[in-house]
Amino acid sequence: MATSHRKAITSAHPEGRFFLAPEKTTHRQYEALRAYFVEGIPSEEAARRFGYTPGSFRVLCSRFREDSEKAERFFKDVAHGPQSPPVRDRLRERAVAMRKRNLSVYDIQREFTEAGEDVSINTLSVLLREEGFARLPRRSDEERPAAPAPEVAPVADIRALNATPRTFRTRFAGLFFFVPLLEGIDLAAIAAQAKLPGSKMIPAAEALRSTLALKLVGIERKSHVMQLVFDEGLALFSGLNVMPKRSWFAAYSSRVGGERNRKLMELWFDEVRSAGLSDSGSLDVDFHSVPANPGKEPLEKHYVSKRSRSQKAVLVFLARDAEERVLCYANAAIPKSERAEEVVRFAEFYRDRTGHYPRELVFDSQLTTYEKLDWLRDKEIRFLTLRRRTRQMLARIYSLPPSMWSRVTLRSLTRKYRTPRVLDERVTLKNYNGELRQLSIIDLGHEEPTILLTNDFASGPAALITRYAKRMLIENGIAEAIHFFHIDALSSMVELKVDFDLQITLMGSALYRMFAERLPENYRRAWAKTLFGNLLDVGGNIDITEREVIVTLDKRAHNPILAETGLLDRPTPMPWFFDRQLILRLP
């Protein structure tokens, strides 16, 4: 707008355009205000002449009236900074002398700091470039000036494992309660049969034990893991002189491929059953998306519920025993095209390990297809799942008369809506041979009806609704696996491969269940995070003698509960530590 008016502006002198068509904002404001307040040009004309809208020019005039001192800003002198660098000039000679002594900018800064001079690395770098100095070549330790240097941490090496009698403190005294639980489980044999990789410094059994130790202590791997390297008690549990470093864990998990992970899961499943961990045959199964780095391997997009969006992620399948509340199966990196098949793979895995198919599977509507439901029926596996709602289904449900609905009471659930109305009927579906039982449920606290499908024609509606409501606990189990057992890959500085991390999570989950079975009734169904926080997150003293390893826990309010486990004052062999006997004691 302003340009078009500038073209119409004329003056007796060509230099007049400087005043009548100012280019800079401040100059334009000055000429417009002068035309209005001094020359008496009407507001709309002044606005038009200098390219303002009438409204914006009125605002400009109003602000000028409010503060008469603003007139000074049009003629304010520009304040210039110092024309020479005072810090560099003051320190120039000393800095040059230091560089001639072969000191780096960091060495020079350290000497200036000790002398009370505050100077930045950037200032010193500019100064030295001005004086014609190039960057120093990489120096050996002997060429560097004497200064405090970090200590070299010991390297994990089983050959350096120290059996000398001594006493030391550990932060993880509670971790040794898992040693008696592992007495009936031969980790060395599992590592050997699964063909896990190992070396002379860190054999396969010690590699597996050290990875399991990190899983059991429940410490966030985001930033605290490197502090664990120096805990001698954690290293003793692992059977090493010190814990391996973070980079070793990442590299090791990459060496364990799919076949080894599968074999590890099979061996562990058999071992914990032999050790006394029972299974109910009723399992909740679900998918979970673990965010991962797509730059390292090609990944498909999956929906990540925590972030409410689809992104590059690893799709994992988890199975959890509904009664024992323990994860017992996991598979990672499932392509979208094969996700419907995973429930079949799990059922066959369960049959191979136990001799029979699962008694009952409970899952949501997107886990598999109607065709796979027909396969489950053929194998006499009872299933309970949601059905996806369509507009036609909802329209039909809402049109049914009240006489077709019956009200049931959910007695075993502690929830607000315990008396829903249920429509119990039989339906047929495409790709499913035979009839299915369909329960449409309203007054359950949801805006739309909940629709369940099952091949269980014997159980009552209340029992089926209650059973599916308990399936929601698998989401809590997945949340525990993410937050306590750390399977969410992007949340951890220790970049374990997801498939290997899942197998170690199964092991940690089972050990916590075995520990919970030895506790009083109110703790037997507690989450692993609660068990660790209340009972096992305790420090203590470790005394190594010629024949024993005595772990004495610090005083804590919950220690009397540990006394009921039957694991105290009972010698347990530690074959990986020179066949010493472990004894757990309270103060």
pLDDT in tens, the chain (587 residues): 444 444 445 555 666 677 777 877 778 888 888 888 888 899 999 898 888 999 888 888 888 877 655 556 554 555 666 566 677 888 888 999 999 888 899 899 989 998 888 899 998 998 899 888 888 888 877 777 777 766 777 889 999 999 999 999 999 999 999 999 999 899 999 999 999 999 999 999 999 999 999 889 876 554 455 667 788 999 999 999 999 988 888 899 889 988 999 999 999 999 999 888 888 889 999 888 887 766 666 777 776 666 667 777 888 899 988 888 888 999 987 888 889 999 999 999 999 999 999 999 999 888 899 999 999 999 999 999 999 888 999 999 889 998 999 999 888 666 677 888 999 999 999 889 999 999 999 988 788 899 999 999 999 999 998 888 877 666 666 677 677 777 765 556 566 788 898 899 999 999 999 999 999 988 888 888 889 999 999 999 999 999 999 999 999 999 999 999 999 999 999 999 999 999 999 98
- Which residue from 463, 475, 418 is spatially nearest to 443, judged by alpha carbons? 418
How far apart are alpha carbons 11 and 110 in whole angstroms? Answer: 66
Listed in order, strand segments (DSSP E) in 405-547 are 406-407, 421-428, 435-442, 450-454, 540-544
Task: Determine the pLDDT at residue 310.
Answer: 74
| Full strand arrangement of the beta sheet holding 548-553 | 166-170, 540-544, 548-553, 580-585, 572-574
- Which residue from 290, 586, 324 is spatially nearest to 473, judged by alpha carbons? 324
How far apart are alpha carbons 141 and 153 in whole angstroms? Answer: 17
How far apart are alpha carbons 265 and 506 in whole angstroms? Answer: 8
Q: Which residues pair with 283 in a beta bridge?
A: 321, 361
* Cβ-based neighbour number of residue 564 at 10 Å: 12
pTM of the model: 0.73
Task: Determine the pLDDT at residue 477.
Answer: 67
* Phi then psi dihedrals of residue 381, to 5 deg: -100, 120
Task: Determine the pLDDT at residue 1.
Answer: 41
Which H or E run contains 58? helix 54-66
Pairing state between β 282-291 and 166-170: unpaired
- Which residue from 266, 257, 263, 253 is spatially nearest to 328, judged by alpha carbons? 266
Q: How buried is 77 (Cβ within 10 angstroms: 0-12 exposed, 13-18 middle, 19+ buried)?
A: exposed
- Name the region of 176 (left: φ>0; alpha: ψ -120 to 50; beta: rest): alpha
The token duo for 87 is 């810090």
The token duo for 199 is 């070396």
CA distance between the termini of the chain: 87
How far apart are alpha carbons 365 and 166 in whole angstroms? Answer: 59
Pairing state between β 282-291 and 580-585: unpaired
Task: Tell whether the torsion through CA atoms of 414, 420, 425 and 430 is positive or negative.
Answer: negative
How far apart are alpha carbons 454 and 425 in whole angstroms? Answer: 11
* Phi then psi dihedrals of residue 276, to 5 deg: 115, 0
Task: Determine the pLDDT at residue 348.
Answer: 96
In degrees to the nearest 10, what's the CA dihedral of 275, 277, 283, 289?
-70
